[in-house]
Structure 1
Amino acid sequence: MDTQQLLEAEAKGCFDFFWNEANSDKNSPGYGLILDQSKNKKVASIASVGFGLTAIIIGIERGWITREQAYERTKGTLETFLNNVEHESGFFYHFLDMQTGKKNEAFYDCASIIDTTLFLSGAITSAEYFGGEIAALFDKIFARVDWNLYYDEKVNQYYMGYTPERGGFGHWDMYAEQMMQYVLGVASPTHPVPAKIYEGFDRRKGTYGDYEYVNSPGGALFVHQYSHAFIDFRGVVDGDGNEWFENSVKATLANRQFCIDKSSEFKTYHENSWGLTASASPTGYRVPGAPPYHPNCAPELEGTVAPTGATGSIVFTPEESIAAMKYFYENHPQLWGEYGFWDSYNLDVSPPWYSDHVIGIDKGITLLMIENYQTGLVWDLYMKNKYVQRGIEMLGWKKKEESRI
């Protein structure tokens, strides 16, 4: 299989997950909800739906579904979120009952700002692609979100979680995957937060090998990917001179180099088997990552590699990411299934372990980044949205040639 065929096969597998593992019963209160992961048929994830809405657009453009099929599913999904899905002041619960749209009690965590933001970002691409009634539905959903519920003015940061019982808790006090939250929060037409919130989180630079960059506490790759699936940071610089696209390039290269450096300790890690990020593992869901770690935040490594780590970074490191994809496909047939690459594998246990399921957010970041690498479609749709444009202007982000830095 050549490179183009492999990219197409993996993209189609990702799309098939989002299309096939959705609630397709038009009479169900949960119509359009998408599984959190393929093995548990009862639990939906709002982040998975966000990626899935964008996947539908990619499916149209690649001829996998008709525009009519896509429009019907998209409209129904947004109506489900407007009318049925449980929320707190517009923030949806992370995990939902697949049939009812109510918070899943077995997986109950919180009304989630980051997962709501991922859903909203997917809905933005739908609004821009279809316009009309789809855009009107998005506007209603977006206008309902009270970003101040999640704003802790005392420390000028977003809370990480919220429940009616606890109120807001934790803080987005460091750089991670939350950059979309600042764009959408300040641009809200009804309940905005002040633009100064962007100044509230720590940009802690560190070094690994030849790479100096701002890293998150545990160094998982997804934190350098998720906002970049939607926001085109190429050539963009903020008021402090941060170039977040280049930061993700360095973080990805450092993650790969760390796996190379650790190859004498772990059989799974080497130059074409890399990408430490949140994924399934032999012992459950884990979040490994690469240094520089924040103090006391170094994760315990046990040899698991997830293809989404490399493939989700294809816009940052195309040559290295494609080499990894080819290695996974050609050398580990057990890692390939009905939805493309299974979630992860580990050669450092006996017998070697291969995941038997996929996770929605991992297939989502893979599909969107492959599309951005090949066509830029997701970036083009997201970046022309009026709220996104307003938010970026309010935050003072500029193209490098427009900046004085």
Structure 2
Amino acid sequence: MNKYTLPAIIIIILTAACNSQPKQQNISAVNNLSDSALFDTIQRRTFEYFWTGAEPNSGMAAERIHIDGDYPENDQSTIAVGGSGFGLMAILTGIERNYITRQQGFERLQKIVNFLEKADRFHGAYPHWLLDENGHVRPFGFDDNGGDLVETSFLMQGLLCVRQYFKDGNDEEKNLAARIDSLWKAVEFDWYRQNNQNVLYWHWSPNYEWKKNFAVHGYNECLIMYVLAASSPTHGVPAEVYHEGWAQNGAINKTSNYKNDTLHLFMQGNPPHGGPLFWAHYSWLGLNPHDLKDQYADYWKEMSTMAKMNYEWCVDNPKQFKGYGKDSWGLTASYSVKGYAAHAPDSINDLGVISPTAALSSFPYTPEQSMSAMKHWYNDSTLRNKLLGPYGFYDAFSETDNWYPQRYLAIDQGPIVVMMENYRSGLLWKLFMSCDEVKNGLAKLGFTIAE
């Protein structure tokens, strides 16, 4: 395991499958696109992961799709619960961008809710993975066959956006919004305190109970879980759970530096320069970091600085990897040359692997740098034929190792669509932040939001 503790996104992957070299395929593309046309091309192609690439029985997000076909299991039949939350937001984006009609989007979202209402839940929380044919849990590990509160929170973040989108629509749409409201209110965040401790626990299993014993402390990708737990109108938790559990009685407030930039949040695993970039993405697909502050951080400044540090590290390229620079950057958790890794800007966790989701999901924070990377990967025809597939740019690559797998992960494709949309319209931020419960929850925890 990587030195960072990241069970929500650590995926069991066979090294042999990751090291094999797939056959390259030519991708039809239009050269000399304007910046806006390229932006739309990549956003739309990535959206297709959650539309044409969805698991067909449920309509939800497939855990992974391997175009090269080298993975020994067909995990396109395994549903990613957190990735599906990101996918819900991608579908709303597709409606707004006219990739699909409102009715098409509604019907897909209704299908997903139908499936979720029957799927396994554990004190209201869904597991990390669901099986397509019956909605039963697929264990994520030997003793991880129950509720996963983090993945459930990513799902609820998306569901609440869907609820807000349809709540004032026609009768069918209002009914869907009401059904989503019931799913949301059924999540027993308070149960996951494990006997009323002032911290939230990641997992509970009906067979192994609290055996994993993973208390979630910040900072990492899980802030959204604490916000939703405080926001729940039926199973809410007091502010002390956030301040004592997540913020560790103020210990979360600890600075780190890279060049002239400073971060003010203690990152789990103590990475020196901000950690893998999904920490600046997953909780912020719905939560709007603009002007969002609490006693620990200014979150727009913090997330923007994290992205900038990641970019600067790749430009400086202290480990001298091939291909790094101002137009090819981005370190985050993804497939890696040897398995799966939480790539980050430090001497241990920078493995020479660029993950396109890192730069593209950072568009709100680093628009010029993100556009530069996207243009390079697309306009260089040699790279494009290696990196671009039917669902956007593939998950990861290494020019140093001449490694270009044709593989996708839901949790990496989703943030690209959503954060690109937040950059240009703020759609998902507006929807999520319009929830009265979220406003109340943030106020309970001491956040301030500019009006």
Same fold (TM over 0.5): yes
Preserved contact between residue 157 and residue 197 of structure 1 (Cα < 8 Å): yes
Q: Distance in 2 between matches of 1:382 and 1:232?
A: 8
1:192 corresponds to which letter in structure 2? G
1:231 counterpart = 2:296: no
Higher deviation after alignment, 123-132 or 180-189: 180-189
Q: Distance in 1 between matches of 2:199 and 2:40?
A: 40
1:284 counterpart = 2:339: yes
- The Cα shift of 1:22 comes to 2.0
Distance 1:307 1:161, change over 3 A: same
Q: 1:338 aligns with which of 387, 390, 394?
A: 390
Higher deviation after alignment, 336-345 or 161-170: 161-170
Q: 2:46 aligns with which of 3, 14, 24?
A: 14
Preserved contact between residue 263 and residue 269 of structure 1 (Cα < 8 Å): no
Q: Distance in 2 between matches of 1:226 and 1:312?
A: 10
- The Cα shift of 1:226 comes to 1.3
- The Cα shift of 1:152 comes to 4.6
Higher deviation after alignment, 197-206 or 174-183: 197-206
Match of 1:295? none
1:42 corresponds to which letter in structure 2? S
For residues 70-129 of structure 1, give each alpha carbon's deviation from its aligned partner in whole angstroms, at most 9, with x where no partner exists: 1111112112112x2112101111011122211114766352111100100110111011
1:157 counterpart = 2:196: no
Q: How does 1:217-366 map to 2 (within 5 A)?
A: 217=269, 218=271, 219-238=275-294, 240=295, 242-262=297-317, 265-291=320-346, 299-331=348-380, 332-333=383-384, 334-349=386-401, 352-366=402-416
Q: Distance in 2 between matches of 1:370 and 1:355?
A: 24
Q: Distance in 1 between matches of 2:276 and 2:197?
A: 25
1:51 counterpart = 2:86: yes
- The Cα shift of 1:304 comes to 0.5
Preserved contact between residue 14 and residue 367 of structure 1 (Cα < 8 Å): yes
- The Cα shift of 1:342 comes to 0.8
Q: Distance in 2 between matches of 1:4 and 1:153?
A: 52
For residues 246-267 of structure 1, give each alpha carbon's deviation from its aligned partner in whole angstroms, at most 9, with x where no partner exists: 1011111111111222255211
Q: Distance in 1 between matches of 2:436 and 2:196?
A: 30
Match of 1:137? 179
1:23 counterpart = 2:55: yes
2:133 corresponds to which letter in structure 1? Q
Match of 1:95? 129
Q: Distance in 2 between matches of 1:299 and 1:157?
A: 30
Match of 2:164? 128
1:211 counterpart = 2:261: yes
Q: Distance in 2 between matches of 1:210 and 1:156?
A: 36
SS class of match (1:38): strand
1:150 corresponds to which letter in structure 2? Y
1:78 counterpart = 2:113: yes
SS class of match (1:44): strand
Match of 2:437? 387
Q: Distance in 2 between matches of 1:377 and 1:222?
A: 20
For residues 261-295 of structure 1, give each alpha carbon's deviation from its aligned partner in whole angstroms, at most 9, with x where no partner exists: 2255211322222111011122222111125xxxx
Match of 2:29? none
Higher deviation after alignment, 41-50 or 307-316: 41-50
Q: Distance in 1 between matches of 2:318 and 2:328?
A: 9
SS class of match (1:158): coil
Percent identical among aligned pairs is 29
What runs of 5+ residues in structure 2 fail to find an aligned partner?
1-32, 67-74, 168-173
Preserved contact between residue 305 and residue 346 of structure 1 (Cα < 8 Å): yes
1:77 corresponds to which letter in structure 2? I
Match of 2:69? none
Q: Distance in 2 between matches of 1:74 and 1:399?
A: 30
SS class of match (2:221): coil
What runs of 5+ residues in structure 1 fail to find an aligned partner?
26-30, 292-297
1:118 counterpart = 2:118: no
- The Cα shift of 1:339 comes to 0.9
Higher deviation after alignment, 101-110 or 42-51: 101-110
Higher deviation after alignment, 149-158 or 204-213: 149-158
State the aligned residue count.
386
- The Cα shift of 1:356 comes to 0.7
1:147 counterpart = 2:189: yes
Preserved contact between residue 361 and residue 420 of structure 2 (Cα < 8 Å): yes
2:65 corresponds to which letter in structure 1? S
For residues 201-226 of structure 1, give each alpha carbon's deviation from its aligned partner in whole angstroms, at most 9, with x where no partner exists: 22332112111102523410001111
Output the aligned Cα RMSD.
Answer: 1.9
SS class of match (1:24): coil
Please, what TM-score do these two structures have when normalized by structure 2?
0.81
Preserved contact between residue 159 and residue 180 of structure 2 (Cα < 8 Å): yes
1:235 corresponds to which letter in structure 2? D
Match of 1:28? none
2:47 corresponds to which letter in structure 1? F
SS class of match (2:395): coil
Preserved contact between residue 279 and residue 343 of structure 1 (Cα < 8 Å): yes
For residues 140-173 of structure 1, give each alpha carbon's deviation from its aligned partner in whole angstroms, at most 9, with x where no partner exists: 1111111122215776221132223041612212
Preserved contact between residue 85 and residue 159 of structure 2 (Cα < 8 Å): yes
- The Cα shift of 1:241 comes to 5.2
